[in-house]
Amino acid sequence: MSKVLTGRLFVFKGREAKLNRAIFWILAQHGPLTIYDIHKEVRVQRPLRYTKYAVVNRRVRTLEDVGYLEKAGSRRTKTGFEVQLYGLTPRTYLAILLNQIDLDKFVETADEADILAILGALSSSTDREA
């Protein structure tokens, strides 16, 4: 028997979910930041106070690899090094929106035009995968 698929996205599941949400929230609030700046902001949050820089670094790079973050430029530090700035992608905004929507309620209350538009978008993206 196969696993039952749920409506939750993998980025909001598992042990990384809390840190992913924190990174997305920080970048949505402050705009593009360096990994060091993201780490400083993560540590301000009470449940993530003891999160190490290496963990945040690895998570940011993983989120970049899967398309949730992108390099949004660079900045020179006080010591003269060039560091990357990371920002959110449209995929991230869609994931956040889908995570906040109650899909059962949406299907029950959406008008037919919205449903057809979403069906069209989903079917075109499914056609590209095949």
> Domain for residue 122, yes or no?
no
pLDDT value at residue 127: 66
83 vs 99, more confident: 83
Q: What share of the chain is helix, strand, coil (3-state, %, to 5)?
A: 60, 10, 25
Q: Please, which residues bridge with residue 82 across strands?
A: 76
pLDDT digits (tens, 9 = 90+) for 38-86: 999 999 999 999 999 999 999 999 999 999 999 999 999 899 999 999 9
Name the average pLDDT for the chain.
90
In this predicted structure, what is the pLDDT of residue 6?
55
Helix (H, G, I), strand (E, B) or coil at 14: coil
- Between 124 and 43, the higher pLDDT residue: 43
DSSP for 81-127, please give it: -EEEEEEE-HHHHHHHHHHHS-HHHHHHH--HHHHHHHHHHHHHHHH
Q: Within a domain: residue 107?
A: no
pLDDT of residue 1: 44
Structural domains of the chain, count: 1
In a domain, 43, yes or no: yes
Q: Region 6-27: what's the mean pLDDT? A: 89
Tell me whether residue 14 is in a domain. Answer: yes
> Above 60 in pLDDT, residue 95?
yes
Query: Distance between CA atoms of 99 and 89, rounded to whole angstroms?
Result: 16
Q: Is residue 94 over pLDDT 50?
A: yes
Q: Is residue 118 pLDDT above 90, yes or no?
A: no
Tell me, yes or no, whether 114 lies in a domain: no
Cα–Cα distance, 114 to 110 (Å, whole number) = 6
- Provide the CATH number for the domain around residue 94: 1.10.10.10
- CA distances 8 to 12, 13, 80, 111, Å, are 7, 7, 42, 23
| Segments forming the whole domain that contains residue 22 | 10-101
The percentage of residues in the chain with a pLDDT greater than 90, rounded to a whole number, is 67
